Amino acid sequence: MYANRTGVLAAAVLWAAAATLVAGCGGDSSRTSAASSPKAAGCPAALVRAKEAVGRAERTGLSWDGPTTGPRAVPDKTIVYVAQTMTNPGVAGVAKGVREAAAAIGWQVRVIDGDGTPAGIQAAFSQAVTLKPSGIVIGGFDPLLTAQQTARAAAAGIALIGWHAVDSPGPSTNPRLFTNITTQVEEVARVSADWVIARSGGDAGVVLFTDDSIPFARNKSDLIKRQLATCPGVTLLATENVPIPDASQRTPREVSSLMSRFRGRWTHSVAINDLYFADAAPALQAAGRPGEGPPFNIGAGDGDPSAFQRINSRRFQAATVPEPLAQQGWQIVDELNRAFAGGPASGYVAPAHVVTAENSGGATSWDPRGYQEAYRSIWQG
């Protein structure tokens, strides 16, 4: 805050602060509708903006807006997908998409599981380099963790593609990647926080679940915090740092502790990955919390089938901002094909999309419409 320059200005600032404080208090923390009155909302302007942003992100049936031109399929290529851990539904979902796309383009693909540990990931990457493939996919981990192996791959002329490997989509020079595939993390973080603001009417007590061991996830959680802070009526109660490989064991204990600490104050949750809510559900159910909430839970990433099932059945998850996992698997193969053909990356970034029971149509995944047909057409020339 800047210092006040006059007594009049100081009085005005104090009056505005008092008005904001009053506006952010007195709401029902367990409300189940975002339609609160302007007086109850802790952030009228932010609330209007959040509702508009969420409304745009919830639209369905949009046409494919990705690439429709590119090089024909380069034949006889082999690729290796090095997975951070195949217990991460997002990593596994992309691997499935890579397999499907490799079959469509006529390549061989192998998946090696890093088991979620630094030693395991390094060993998996070393094995990948030893196989001398045409390309390697960095599936959901920081390439700096495998700096030696990455350097060996580059020296051997192996093309490297990242999925959630660095913070931003597109080519990377440090580490050197032909491209990194992800939704725009700023958009995903912003709309997930906006969903909480809109869903709560600007009056929420929030718990954030993250994994600080993954730079991408840590950056996402920081962005979520920043967006939540745009609404003074939203209180961040706690940030729970639970490594994804440990989530199944630790999350139930953390949830039980959080319920004891915050009770009815805990109205909403945001997680950087939907899998936290799969592990939270038994603890919430055992505590007698209703499946439809509170807490109302949104996953800021991945959108695996189990998340859709929880959302569609209204059982301990209300929304997700899914990655189009299958489409991104196909995009990985397309980007590798562009690298093999000596061309630039496509530059495509899938838009952020919010899925709820109201707009899912009962589906168990979300991908842009028409992507397979578009990629097949490109590869066939």
Instruction: Report percent pLDDT > 70 for the chain.
Output: 89
pLDDT in the model for residue 359: 96
The more confident residue out of 236 and 218 is: 236
User: pLDDT for 66-111, tens place per residue?
Assistant: 999 999 999 999 999 999 999 888 899 999 999 999 999 999 999 9
Give the distance from CA 326 to its chain's centroid: 14
Give the distance from CA 293 to its chain's centroid: 21
pLDDT at residue 16 greater than cutoff 60: no
Report CA torsion sign: 62, 67, 69, 73: negative
Mean pLDDT of 48-56: 97
User: pLDDT for 288-325, tens place per residue?
Assistant: 999 999 999 999 988 889 999 999 999 999 999 999 99
pLDDT at residue 38 greater than cutoff 90: no
Q: What is the mean pLDDT of the chain?
A: 89
Mean pLDDT of 156-164: 96
The more confident residue out of 38 and 379 is: 379
374 vs 378: CA distance, rounded Å: 6
pLDDT in the model for residue 40: 46
pLDDT in the model for residue 2: 35
pLDDT at residue 11 greater than cutoff 80: no
- Two structure tokens written together for 99: 């397999």
User: pLDDT for 230-270, tens place per residue?
Assistant: 999 999 999 999 998 899 999 999 999 999 999 999 999 99
pLDDT at residue 135 greater than cutoff 50: yes
